[in-house]
Amino acid sequence: MKKTHQLLIAVAALLVIVGPVYLGARSAGRVAVTAPDVAVDPQSSIRAERVEVVHFHATQQCATCKTVGRLALKTITERFPKEYADGTVVFLDIDGSKPENQARVTRFKATASSLFLNAVAGGQDHIEEDADVWRLVYNENKYIEHLESRIRQLLGK
pTM: 0.72
- CATH code for position 136: 3.40.30.10
| Domain enclosing residue 101, as ranges | 2-155
Compute the 3-state secondary structure of the chain and give helix, strand, coil in percent, each to the nearest 5.
Answer: 50, 20, 30
| Number of domains the chain is built from | 1
- 94 phi/psi in degrees, rounded to 5: -115, 120
The answer, yes or no, to whether residue 30 has pLDDT greater than 50, is no
Helices 140-155 & 63-79, crossing angle to 10 degrees?
A: 50
Q: What is the pLDDT of residues 69-98, one digit of tens each?
A: 999 999 999 999 999 999 999 999 999 999
Least confident of 34-43, 63-72, 115-124, 143-152: 34-43
Burial class (CB in 10 A: 0-12, 13-18, 19+), 129: buried
Q: Is the dihedral of CA 96, 99, 104, 105 positive or negative?
A: positive
Least confident of 23-27, 52-56, 58-62, 97-101: 23-27
